[in-house]
Structure 1
Amino acid sequence: MDHTELTVGDLVDLLSACDRTAPVRQAMNPFFPMAHRLAQVVQSVDETGQTVVYLAEGRDAGDTQLGHLPPDVAIELAWQSPVQAPPRRPRRAASGK
């Protein structure tokens, strides 16, 4: 199975449609969706000699994980299904004695 990776050019194209003043965050772990703050961009070479760009969190562990991913983002990523609240049952009338 071939997997096409997102390239730097693809990322630039996708980001060009976004608000330039918006902070950049990373969605991680589809089974426990969390939001993380990005702080670094590092270019390196992998074991095959291919140039790779890494987006990384900052060094301060208390400042990088921001909490749960908003449900609408997890749904858009297909990490969660849309959930509807169960139907409400009618309340029972109180019986006075």
Structure 2
Amino acid sequence: MTFPEMTVGDLVDLLSGCDRDVPVRLAMNPFFPMAHRLAQITQSVDQTGRPVVYLAEGRDENTQLGHLPPEVAVALAWQEPVQAPPRRPRRSAGGK
């Protein structure tokens, strides 16, 4: 089974509706979602000889920005929406 790949044209079309001054982040690893700074773009060929464009994270220690915001993981369908559990009444110091 093959999956359709996003093309450069698809990416340009999707980005054309975004504010040009907003930083670009890379969301990685659906099982432990993290945000990364995008630093480089390079073009090459894959193992079959097809041209491919690679988006790469930076090399410095500040490239990984931490956990992906939960709303982003939900929007990407990497996580289910989660609601906080209902609050229980607090017990008094006397145990009653």
In structure 1, distance between residues paired with 2:91 and 2:64: 44
Determine the structure 2 residue equivalent to 1:77. Answer: 76
Q: Deviations over 1:37-93 (max 9, x none)?
A: 001000001111100000001121x12100110000000001111110111112334
Deviation at 1:32, TM superposition (A): 0.7
Determine the structure 2 residue equivalent to 1:66. Answer: 65
Using the aligned pairs only, state the percent identity.
78
Letter in 2 for 1:8: V
- Count of aligned residue pairs for this structure pair: 95
In structure 2, distance between residues paired with 1:24 and 1:91: 44
Letter in 2 for 1:64: T
Determine the structure 2 residue equivalent to 1:44. Answer: 44
User: 3-state SS of the aligned residue for 1:63?
Assistant: coil
Unaligned runs of at least 5 residues, structure 2: none
In structure 2, distance between residues paired with 1:13 and 1:74: 22
User: 1:1-97 counterparts in 2 under 5 A?
Assistant: 1-60=1-60, 62-95=61-94
How large is the Cα RMSD of the aligned pairs?
1.4
User: 3-state SS of the aligned residue for 2:19?
Assistant: coil
